[in-house]
Chains A and B, each alone.
Chain A
Amino acid sequence: MDKLNKREYKEYAEKKMPKPPYVKNMIMAFIVGGIFCTIGQIILNLMKNNGLDEKMAAAGTAISMVLIGGLLTGLGVYDKIAKIGGAGAAVPITGFANSIVSPAMEFKREGFIFGVASKMFIIAGPVLVYGIGSSIIVGLISLLLR
């Protein structure tokens, strides 16, 4: 690395990297994410119409969406949807299910304890730690301000 120093090279190499098709990705994320949310809304409405109260119906919807995400992952479809939908498939709760079910499937060969169970949260783990952690902090703050 004589002529170019490392920083210059890094900038140059980054310029060489092809850019993702942002506009297409955003449109697809909007459509795919929208479809998941619409499915969620349909389930929510069905549950409410069949006699569940708001709170119960919301919980039921979340559970159903997790089931759908897990099922689509197991069938080997979710990664294909996410490839098209990007954030539209990652952000809804179905994406959370995918992030737990996919490593659980992948590491089955390493056994149910050191494989499935310990690798299950390899992707979702940080989300849980910081999600639950920050909710506790926010909860404490709101308690103090009351």
Chain B
Amino acid sequence: MAIKKLGKQTVKLENPPSIISYYSIVGPKEGKGPLKDYFDLILEDDLWGQESWEKAESKMQEECIKAAIDKAGLSSQDIDYLIAGDLLNQIIATAYSARQLAIPYYGLYGACSTMTESLSLGAMLVDGGFADKVACAVSSHFSTAERQFRYPLEYGNQRKMSAQWTVTGAGATILSSYGSGPYVKCITTGKIIDPGITDVANMGGAMAPAAVDTLVTHFQDTGLDPSYYDLIISGDLGYVGKSIVLDLMKEKGYDLTKNYTDCGVEIFDKSEQDTHAGGSGCACSATVYNSYVFKEMAKGKLNKVLIMSTGALHSTLSTQQGESIPGIAHAVAVENTIE
């Protein structure tokens, strides 16, 4: 019997897992952005001494997970499961990072929604009594994403104004059955919503309806009002998607103007860094949660936060074949106190 289920798509965790450690690594561009003081490690060179961008991404993820485990005073043998993913074909950056770590591993592909997808599943594993400690991690890299999804780096073209900039970075969170918080309280798993957008330069527009659907469902399932949270923060909708979310939520009778923002909007300085519609990629939300959000929660400046990574689940082939972009968003409620 699904005794922990709340409403249509939400689960309320009975023994809320605690976030005992988190770590973030970012590339040089992100390290010059508005959140630079929050990141744990800023790379000077986004190749990080490796011979390919893919290897650099894998190294970032591996080092990030190791650092998060280390920060908790644990070793990799103490971790029951690693749940991780990235953007590359066959999530290869994660496979190579997991190869080095020797932790039982579940690989996820949720595009840019992977961070809250892994936190959701990790928290359920801990709450269900299947694990005591779970590592959740993701990575993305501007240069690996560009060559897979778009153009060669040195190719001269003008990016559309609605295009987003893939964040180079990795984020890792360690969940534990014991700890003093912050706690994962509720999880709302998103459905795929496809609003029919085919333009890959408008990811924000493609993902925003999924974000709205998950948010509305979360509030209906839990009976909460948006004002309950100190901060509601989506993954990588960027400026275009954020503005659509505000519009559509208002239409549905929810006012998000006071406490809602998006990681893609926060991570770069739009006017200085020429990132057009904002940041994107798995690491966009992961590095912001695992730095700014959790550090502000530790300081007590934020107490109740709804984090929601958003993903565009298309492939280069589906785009070439003219298919539209399926969007998804998973919400995870993180609070400083259990009750």
Q: A3-B251, A18-B161, A109-B51 are in contact. Are A13 and B197 (CB under 8 A)?
A: yes
Summarize B's interface: helix, strand, loop or mixed. Answer: loop
Which residues from A are CB-within-8-Å of B162?
17-18
- Complex CA gap A117/B201 in Å reads 29
- Let me know if B154 and A98 touch, CB within 8 A: yes
**Which of A37-45, A80-88, A132-140 interfaces with chain B?**
A80-88
> From residue A114, how far is it (CB to closest CB) to chain B in Å?
14
Q: Which residues of A103-124 have CB atoms within 8 Å of chain B's CB atoms?
A: 103, 105-107, 109, 122-123
Report the count of interface residues on A (CB-CB < 8 A).
39
Nearest CB in chain B to that of A79: its residue: B156
The interface bits of chain A over 61-86 (1 if a CB of B lies within 8 angstroms of the residue's CB, else 0) are 00000000000011010110111011
Summarize A's interface: helix, strand, loop or mixed. Answer: helix
**Which of B19-27, B145-153, B288-296 interfaces with chain A?**
B145-153
Interface residue? A33 (CB, 8 A): no
Select B154's contact among A12, A79, A89, beta carbons within 8 Å: A79
List the 8 closest A-B pairs by CB distance, nearest first.
Answer: A82-B156, A13-B205, A106-B152, A6-B196, A102-B154, A102-B155, A17-B162, A18-B161
10 A-B pairs besides A1-B209, A13-B240, A102-B154 with CB distance below 8 A are: A9-B196, A14-B202, A17-B205, A18-B239, A18-B277, A20-B158, A73-B154, A82-B158, A83-B159, A107-B147
Please name 5 pairs of A and B residues whose Cβ atoms are closer than 8 Å in the assembled complex, sorted by A.
Answer: A13-B244, A16-B205, A79-B153, A99-B155, A101-B154
Residues of B participating in the A interface, judged by any CB pair closer than 8 Å:
51-52, 147, 151-162, 193, 195-197, 199, 201-202, 204-206, 208-209, 239-240, 243-244, 251, 276-277
